[in-house]
Amino acid sequence: MPRPVDTRERIVRSAARLFLARSYAGVGVADLCEAADVRRGSFYHYFPSKVELAKAVVDLHAGEFHRRMAEAQRDPGADRLRAAADAVFTIQSAFEGKFGRIVGCPFGNLAAELATTDDEVRAHVADALAGWEARLAQICREVAADGALRPGLDPDRVARALLAQIQGLILLAKVRGDSARSIRDDLGTVIDSFLITR
């Protein structure tokens, strides 16, 4: 019999996959239980509502992003910021491999679907995006301290612009049927526009 922690994780991972493949609204509790191979009672034991599950899915994706960004911070100088494009590519490429196409950003998808109808999920997604922006801002400050950010640029504003570019490029790739590589290449061009090239 699976350990309780395995059951909860299985539910969250199944939900993450189904929300990306369909949508939050397009997935019912019965679908989630079938995908995770759990009974309805087990589902409600771990998640009193679908909203709580959505928040756990956001946390799962946020953890993966922060892990990828932590790896990026090992790179020297301006490459630290360029590694952010590689982190986005790695995540989107994995989604592309799993679903056969770009399915979007988990945060952006939930924000677009629920931000005007569910304030609790909206706030949780906003916190996740704020964490992403803070991580980018820290990298931008380090790149500025290394003298690799163009003079006069505010690292915090650069981080916000990069987050907006990332979200926009993922959305464009999703609707155009572009590849994860196109996201990385276009994001690399944007990042290079903020850097001093030597």
- Per-residue pLDDT, averaged over 4-8, amounts to 77
Whole-prediction pTM: 0.90
Q: For residue 67, which phi and psi values (nearest 5 degrees)?
A: -65, -45
pLDDT at 2 over 60: no
Mean pLDDT estimate for the chain:
92
Q: What is the pLDDT averaged over residues 161-165?
A: 97
The partner residues of 3 in beta bridges, in order of sequence, read none
Residue 71's pLDDT band (cuts 50, 70, 90): confident
Residue 198 pLDDT exceeds 70: no
In this prediction, residues 96-111 reach a mean pLDDT of: 95
pLDDT of residue 28: 94
What is the tens place of the pLDDT at every residue in 169-183? 999 999 999 999 999
Give the least confident one: 63-72, 84-93, 137-146. 63-72
Contact assessment for residue 142 and residue 94, using Cβ atoms and an 8 Å cutoff:
no
Cα-Cα-Cα-Cα torsion 125, 126, 132, 138, nearest 10 degrees, comes to -160
Comparing C-alpha atoms, which of 101, 108, 103 is closest to residue 132?
108
